[in-house]
Each structure stands twice: as C-alpha cells, then as structure tokens.
C-alpha cells in the first residue's frame, strides 16, 4: 500500500481526510500531530519522512488562531512557514508529493469586483496571512511535486463557527454577528474530497478549494440556526462594532470570495454549494 503522511491529523481537515480514506485498500494513512512529529524541526521531519518513505504528504498542520498570530509571531512563522519548508524539503528528499493547505488570508481582503482566482496577486495584511504566504513560497521553492490548495471559512469535526453559534444560542436570545465580511463557508468534507481527487494526479500547482456561492457571517449564522431549528435572533453588526466589543481581535478580510478557477480549467471536479454542504454537515452533526 502507498503511504500518505497526514500532519495535523486531529484538526477538522485531518479528521475529514481520514474519513475520506477509511476502508481504502490502495493508501495507508500515517497520522501525525505535534505529539508524533514536530514539523518545525527539520531534522526530525527528515528522519521521520525517510523512515516512512511516503507516496505523499498532506500538510494540514497550521497555527490558525488569527488573533494569537498577531502576538505569537515567532510561533506563527515556525509552524506556518518553517514547518511548510521542512515538509517541502523532506518530500523532495524522498521524491514524495506534497499537498499543502493554505488560506484566503494570503490576499488583502479588500473588496473586489469579482471572486479571486489563483492568478491574482497575494497581499496579506494579518500575521496569519503573512506567515501562510511565506509557507506557500517555501513549498514552491523546495518541493519537487506539490499542490497548494487555498480554502476559507472551514468547518468540520472540531471547533468552528457553526458550533460556536449553536453554543451561544443556548444562553442568548440575540447574537451580534458581522455582516460586512463576505466569503464562502467550506465543509472540511468537501475540501477532503478535492484533496483526494487531486493527489493521484500530476496536475500540480496552486488551487482554490471552497464551496460554491458566497455569503456573510450574519447570513451564515442565520442558516445554521434555521437548519438547527433555533429561534435565536441574529443581529447584523459591522466589523467596527465587533472591534469595539472585542478590542483584541485582529482585522479580518472584508472580501474572501475565492473562485476555484484552476479546478474549473483543468479538471471536472466541483464543490457542493455552501448551503448544500452545510445541510449535510448539520444533519450528520445534529444526528
């Protein structure tokens, strides 16, 4: 069986990837998290990868706490940039493919007239975006065969926006949610399907991977409550108002709508709409 190393296996995407490959007789997943492999240490990564000799590495590991990235800058660079570099070096050393997961935060987030494609120029503003773009660049510099897939507004089996909203609804009749940030809620299951689709191919390069359609956070919350049968009222608020209520929060992109342009140009793979994917997720999660 071909071996695939999965880093960040306990995160939402890592779990979704394991579900996608469950029962697969062609591939064996070698799951790692920080306890098994510290991706920030190049010698550890090289030793581990040389021992496993994988067919591919799927890098789901990242420091994704946007607010803490503004403070823990060194740690953000170590995990998001240096960690990606180390996996790229190791993948080339054993001639393995590297699937690296990135983010919409590599773009400025300034309001655009159209969805952003892989041909648009990144210009991150937050430390999270800056460090993730540095990781992308290291992958491009050091990996022999790589896929970089950028996603946005990810939710799955773990801590996420939908679960946060439902938790808050237990003790609040009305919740203020930002309405001037737009993007595409993306199911970890849908992203894992895209990764599984691309990985066996030689269709290398940068891809955007989000569900189809777009919305804002307030409308996303309303859809979560509708599907859950909750009567909680959503109060649409501006980003400025949110910052007044939570002063320590980092700026979020106002515009995060990505177009899966390279997938459309080079494959017949398509994501579900964000509404379809959310309905599936809520049915599975709420039983």
Give the pTM: 0.97
Q: What is the pLDDT of residues 6-55, one digit of tens each?
A: 999 999 999 999 999 999 999 999 999 999 999 999 999 999 999 999 99
**287: pLDDT strictly greater than 70:** no
Q: Which letter does DSSP use for residue 272 in this model?
A: P
Catalytically annotated residue among 21, 105, 128, 255? 128
Task: Kindly list the domain boundaries of the chain, sorted by start residue.
Answer: 2-161+185-212+257-272
Q: C-alpha angle 256/232/109, rounded to 5°?
A: 10
User: How large is the C-alpha radius of gyration of the chain?
Assistant: 19
State percent of the chain over pLDDT 90: 95
> How far apart are alpha carbons 206 and 182 in whole angstroms?
22
> Which residues lie closer than 8 Å to 270 by C-beta, 6 or more apart?
212, 260, 263, 264
Task: Identify the pLDDT of residue 151.
Answer: 98
Which residue is listed with tokens 């140009």?
A: 265
Q: What is the pLDDT of residues 58-70, one digit of tens each?
A: 999 999 999 999 9
Q: Which CATH class is domain 2-161+185-212+257-272?
A: alpha beta
Q: What is the pLDDT of residues 41-58, one digit of tens each?
A: 999 999 999 999 999 999
Q: How many CB atoms lie within 10 A of CB 29?
A: 20
Q: What is the pLDDT of residues 213-272, one digit of tens each?
A: 999 999 999 999 999 999 999 999 999 999 898 887 788 899 999 999 999 999 999 999
| Residue 176, CA atoms < 13 Å, CB-side half-sphere | 10
Task: Identify the pLDDT of residue 155.
Answer: 97
| Average pLDDT value over all residues in the chain | 96
Asked if 77 is an active-site residue, the reply is no
Lowest-confidence pick of 55-59, 155-159, 200-204: 155-159
Distances (CA, A) of 174 to 64, 122, 225, 240, 274: 28, 37, 12, 19, 24
Task: Identify the pLDDT of residue 133.
Answer: 98
Mean pLDDT on 171-175: 95
Per-residue b or e along 206-221, where b marks 16 or more CB atoms closer than 10 Å to that residue's CB: bbbbbbbebbbbbbbb
Which residue is listed with tokens 């996608």?
A: 20
């Amino acid at each position: 069986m071909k071996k695939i190393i999965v880093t960040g296996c306990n995160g939402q995407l890592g779990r979704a990837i394991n579900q996608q490959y469950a029962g697969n007789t062609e591939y064996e997943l070698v799951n790692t998290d920080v306890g098994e492999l510290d991706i920030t240490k190049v010698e550890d990564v090289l030793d581990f990868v040389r021992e496993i000799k994988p067919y591919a590495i799927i890098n789901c590991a990242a420091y994704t706490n946007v607010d803490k990235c503004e403070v823990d800058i060194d740690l953000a660079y170590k995990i998001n940039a240096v960690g990606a570099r180390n996996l790229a070096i190791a993948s080339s050393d054993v001639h393995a493919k590297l699937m690296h997961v990135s983010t919409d935060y590599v773009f400025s987030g300034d309001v655009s007239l159209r969805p952003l494609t892989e041909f648009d120029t990144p210009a991150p503003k937050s430390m999270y975006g800056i460090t993730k773009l540095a990781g992308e660049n290291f992958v491009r510099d050091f990996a022999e065969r790589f896929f970089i897939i950028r996603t946005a507004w990810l939710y799955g089996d773990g801590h996420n926006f939908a679960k946060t909203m439902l938790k808050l609804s237990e003790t609040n009749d009305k919740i203020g949610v930002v309405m001037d940030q737009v993007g595409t809620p993306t199911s970890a299951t849908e992203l894992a399907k895209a990764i599984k689709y691309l990985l066996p191919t030689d269709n290398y390069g940068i891809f955007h991977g989000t569900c189809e359609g777009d919305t804002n956070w307030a409308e996303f919350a309303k859809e979560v409550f509708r599907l859950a049968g909750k009567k909680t009222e959503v109060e649409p608020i501006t980003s400025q108002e949110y910052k007044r209520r939570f002063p320590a929060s980092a700026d979020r992109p106002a515009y995060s709508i990505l177009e899966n342009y390279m997938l459309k140009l080079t494959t017949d793979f398509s994501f579900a709409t964000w509404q379809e994917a959310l309905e599936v997720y809520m049915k599975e999660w709420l039983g």
